[in-house]
Amino acid sequence: MPELDSPQRQAPDSLMLTGFWYRALPADRVHRNQLHQAMLLEIPLVVGRDRAGRPFALRDACPHRGMPLHCGNFDGENVECSYHGWQFDAHNGQCELIPSLTADQNLKVDRIYAGSYPCEEQDGFIWVYIPDPGPPGAGFSAREEAPDPAPQIEKSGSLGGVPEGAPKKDKYKLAYLTADMPVSIDHGIIGLMDPAHGPFVHQAWWWRSRHSIHEKKKNFEPIPNGFRMSAHTPSSNSAPYRLLRLYADADSITTTIDFVLPNMRSEIIRAGKYWFSSLTTVTPITRNRCRIDVVAAWNIFHWMPFGPELLKLVFAKFVEQDRRTMELQAEGLKHNPHLMLIDDADRPAKWYFQLKAAHLEAKRLGREMKHPMAGPVTLRWRS
Ligand code: FES
Ligand SMILES: [Fe+2]
């Protein structure tokens, strides 16, 4: 996609990227010995926890005749289909039992698999790895393992993950918010990275009005699979920033915001030994539906009785404003209007499309991704 100064036509293709981890369900909604339905990238899943609490994810369709497996029984180890009672290992999907077989029928039961997916619990969510689709007609075989562990929220230090085995520097708290949005993944991501809607969508008397709009200038740099808004003093309109001001000098507070394919926005605000970190994802459920999940972690507000609740309320309000906006936008999108991306405010959205295209191209050619950004860039907009 060329960089143009003029408004650019934009046609999101809503393509959902495979070969990545996605958040499936909040961990506190998935109980031991129970089966729960979930959908990711139009793939129906049955998610559960075994007797020991370890999560698993299977394709919600029996390989025998397609019966949804969530209708079956689960004994904490094997999932039993409700139609003919075939049993599958919850973790790897391997068939354990076909009740109709007689003693002299030697069908190799253990060569049959229900579709299964790598599954991990991380920071309050059950994550599922969605691999690239196999060749057509490949059927049901042992699953592909994920190349990396599920993403984590940065909990101290710099963005990029706490090194393996490193001690957790602080005790911290965790909270999440989730909202369904009736738009494609692309519109969900554009909304997530859009700096210009704030004064219009996120107005509140105690917060800001459209009159607080002012010019901003931010530096961006390429990072693997994404881009970073370089460390800077957060916008005075940022909620955690306002609270952190109670702890530290305004100039000692910095924030770094990353966007990384396929769908992650992470932000960490640091003020000396205190930090507030969030990992927001927009997850494709179907071609026309996505879900936003915000998970925040922080080591501040120990003394503030209402700190976390207050913050959760503020975030809930923001997420609801975004959700409502996208619900209305979906009305407009029904009739395929022409759309555009303008500079500089929509440049992050342009980078998202370019990253997605570069990622697909690299995969097609089986080589390293060529990053669409040549180097650091400064963007200016009013918000
Ligand atoms: S459809 Fe599941 S056992 Fe037959
Ligand atoms: Fe927003």
Q: Where are the domains of the chain?
A: 20-130, 173-382
Ligand 2 center from residue 284 Cα (angstroms):
18
pLDDT at residue number 321 = 93
Confidence check: pLDDT of 347 > 80? yes
pLDDT at residue number 166 = 43
Average pLDDT, the chain: 87
Summarize the confidence of residues 269-280 as an average pLDDT. Answer: 88
pLDDT at residue number 308 = 67
pLDDT at residue number 276 = 86
Residue ID of nearest Cα to ligand 1 atom 4: 84
pLDDT at residue number 205 = 62
| Contact 68 CB / ligand 1 (< 6 Å) | no
Confidence check: pLDDT of 121 > 90? yes
Of 58, 281, 27, 66, nearest in space to 179 by CA? 281
Is residue 6 very low, low, confident or very high in pLDDT (cuts 50, 70, 90)?
A: very low
pLDDT at residue number 144 = 84
173-382, which class in CATH? alpha beta
Rounded CA-CA distance 207/371 in Å is 37
**pTM assigned to the model:** 0.90
Q: Quick one: DSSP state of residue 204? A: B
Buried b (16+ CB within 10 A) or exposed e, 345-373: bbbbbbbbbbbbebbeeeeeeeeebebbb
Q: Which residue has the higher pLDDT, 350 or 302?
A: 350
Tell me if the domain spanning 20-130 has CATH number 3.40.50.300: no
pLDDT at residue number 369 = 96
Q: Which atom of ligand 1 is nearest to the CA of 86?
A: 3
